[in-house]
Structures are given as structure tokens and as C-alpha cells.
A = this chain, B = another copy of it.
Amino acid sequence: MSSAVSAPSASARITALDVLDVRFPTSEHLDGSDAMNPEPDYSAAYVILRTDAGDGLEGHALAFTTGRGNDVQAAAIAALAPHVVGLSVEEVCGDLGAFSRSLVHDPQLRWLGPEKGAIHMATGAVVNAAWDLAAKRAGKPVWRFLGEMPPEELVAQVDFRWLSDALTPEDALDILCRAEPGRQERTARLLERGYPAYTTTPGWLGYSDEKLARLAREAVAAGFTQIKLKVGASLEDDVRRMQVARETVGAGIRIAVDANQRWDVQDAIDWVRALAPYQPYWIEEPTSPDDILGHAAVRKAVGPIKVATGEHIANRVVFKQLLQAGAVDIVQIDSARVGGVNENIAILLLASKFGVPVCPHAGGVGLCEMVQHLSMFDYVAVSGTAENRVIEYVDHLHEHFTDPVRIADGHYLAPELPGLSAQMHPESLKEYAYPDGPVWTARV
């Protein structure tokens, strides 16, 4: 594969799929600690798609992990390289639906899933890197690139396999066409005010009550109308922390709680009921992310407290069932768990069909940067509303990104630079390279 920089753009090829193992030693402070993730080292299996188009553009994206296993994730991404390197840039960027399906349905690689775990997250990272490249070529941030696509072209992004009992291409087209008339007006409003956010910063399990109260006060002062507390390690502690939080923020601020899968079904019901006097807004990940029927049982028992899940939901088929079973009040998409932008379009359409609001999971490394594009696209062109919808915000590691999220008055401001906002500074990629970067060699 030649990498001549003067090749005419129409015949440009993808010349390389680079994969980098990048890890941040976040376990040193208890940022990011919860009932199932006591000591995460937030990490990225980072992808760069390079071309010989000579336009200086690259596709950047990442799969997020919590440390150990980031090398396995990188190996899974590398396994996709033979399907990508050598392809025409025009063809990939011109039909990202076909590109994503070609990765998802490799008949040998799919044995490692199918459509779940490391191989599916790898697909998501590569697909997202292709969206970054395509949007950069179009000179638009991804939310706008998507938000200006004709409904028919959006429908073509979706893999409807296994969805047709809940969502057909006709349903999808109908949803998108209904939202089309208001696109311009909503785009203008978005550019003006941004998209509502909530913050998890006050609520990590490792924090003292004093730190929790201080950070909660700061969150409200900064304009957030919702905060989130991690729960699930000790009921006594959780009741106390919830009380501290409620007394600090008052009745008008929503407090979500997040158990990170810690409970069996009955445990979840009992625990949430014990927290009910302090009005939790939603209970997030009460039990196994695979347990559709379990979530339905919890929801039935704890209403009007809402049930939310999604950051570990493997694919659109599980989201479909959560909606069919009436198991969730809130769909929490994640930019780096499923098969990339394409599968998340499917999930946004499913949520819209069932009338369930989408409040994305974010945090980690670059998840805020990437997922804001999906919520903003949802607002502009799918659900057409931001009511009762908030994107998670965590103030970790944004300094490593070239186009970091911008928060003002409790809102994500709409990204203006072209692409998916997942690109990291070259110095960060070098410094935190694992195991050979200076940050890690200094630790040994």
C-alpha cells in the first residue's frame, strides 16, 4: 500500500489502521471508583485511520477500558485492520452503513461475540474513526454531519437485522421524516444554549461526606440541575450519603443513583426502597446488564423511581428487548460499547419509537467528547426534543483532547470543529503509552 501524499483524492485509500494502548493511572486518586470498579485506570485502545489522500485528515476514535485488558482490546481492533487497510476512502466515507456491516458480519470474527465484548467494541472504535474521518472531510462536527443527512441516508446507516419485530426501515423513515421540519430551528437553539448535562463528579464512592457535599454545592452553583451518586457497597453509607446530598442540594435538584450492576433483583428492590425517602430520580444499573427481565421486575417494584441502564448493554438487540419488556425509563447509550455511530443511530431510533428518553453514559476517556454528538443529533433529527434528557458529564481527562467538551451553565456547548472530537494530543498519546510511555516507566 503506497502512501504517496500527492495521490488524487478520488482514488485515495486507507493506508493504515494504527492502534495505541494508552492508559491513565487514575486509580491513584479514587476518581472513578464505584461498587464494581474500585480502582480503575481509565484507558483507551486508540485508533488512527490514515489515508493517502494528501489532505492531512485522519480518523481518530477509541475504545474505552478500565486498565487491564486494554491490550486485549487493542488486539481486537488490530484484528480488523485487514478488513480496512486498502479500502477506498470515498467508498468507506460514502457508505458508512455498508462499511460497519462489513466489520460486524465477518463470519469468523463474529464467533468472538457475536456483537458483544471486545470484538464488538473494536468494531465500534473503527467505525467511529471512519465517522471522524468522514465528518472531517465534510468539514462538519459529527452531530451536524448527521443532522443534515436526508432521512433516507440515515435509514441506510442502520443494520436492521434482528430488529424488525420492533423497528422496520419504514418505522425509522417515518420517525426521521416527522422530525425533519424542525431541524434548522433546533440546530440554532443548540448552537445558542447547548444540550443539558448532569454531573457525576460529586458522587464517587471513595469520597468523604464533606467532599461529596462540597462538590454537590459546586455542581448546583455551576448550573447543573442533576447530580449522581454511586451506591451499592454499603447500605448504611448510601443512606447517609444520599441524605447529605439531598440536604445539600435541596428538593429541586435531581439526584440519580448508580449501583454499577452490584445487586440481584430483590436486593436492588430493597436497597432502592431504603433510599426512596431521599427521592432518587433514577436507579442506574441495578443488576446485570444482560438481565432484561430483572430490570423489568425492578422497575415494576420501585416506580415512580426510574430505572436506567445502557453503558454495558452489548448491542441493539438487548436495547430492543429492554424497550419491548418495559424494563427501562431511561436509555443510556454509550459511544464506545456498541458497534459505533451506526448502531447508536439504531438505538436512538428504537428509543424514539418507544418514547423513552436517551440520557447517555459518559466519563471515562473521551466518552463525553464522542457521545455529545449523538445526543445533539438525536435532538436535531430524531426525537426532536431535549426534555427530560441529560448527558452525563465527568470532569476527567478532557485536557488530553484537541477539541475537549465545553460546559457552560450545566450544558454541553455544541462542538464546532469537524469530526467526532475523539482526537487526543500527540504528546498525551506518547506520554501515557502503555507500558513504555514515560508516565508508566517512571512507575516501575
Contacts and interface: CB of A to CB of B under 8 A. Distances in A.
Interface of A: 36-41, 64-69, 71-73, 75-76, 79, 106-121, 161-165, 261, 264-266, 287-294, 297, 312, 314-315, 317-318, 320-321, 324-325
Contacts of A321: 290-294
Nearest to A38: B107
A350 to B, nearest CB: 13
A108 B290 contact: no
Contacts of A108: 37, 39-41, 65-69
B107 A66 contact: yes
A63 to B, nearest CB: 9
Contacts of A320: 291
Contact of A264 (B67, B75, B165, B324): B165
A312 B120 CA distance: 14
A112 B264 contact: no
The dominant DSSP class at the A interface is: loop
A203 to B, nearest CB: 18
Contacts of A325: 293
Contact of A266 (B71, B72, B73, B165): B165
Query: Which of A67, A118, A165, A287 has its CB near the most chain B CB atoms (within 10 A)?
Result: A118
A67 B108 CA distance: 6
Contact of A118 (B37, B76, B288, B297): B76
B68 A76 contact: no
Given A161-B264, A162-B288, A73 B112 contact: yes
B317 A162 contact: no
Contacts of A37: 107-108, 111
A290 to B, nearest CB: 4
Contacts of A69: 76, 79, 108-109, 111-112, 119
Q: 9 nearest interchain CB pairs?
A: A117-B117, A68-B108, A75-B75, A67-B108, A165-B265, A162-B288, A290-B317, A164-B264, A69-B109
Given A68-B79, A108-B67, A292-B293, A162 B287 contact: yes
A441 B39 CA distance: 44
A92 to B, nearest CB: 20
Contacts of A115: 290
Contacts of A324: 293
Query: Which of A111, A113, A162, A293 has its CB near the most chain B CB atoms (within 10 A)?
Result: A111
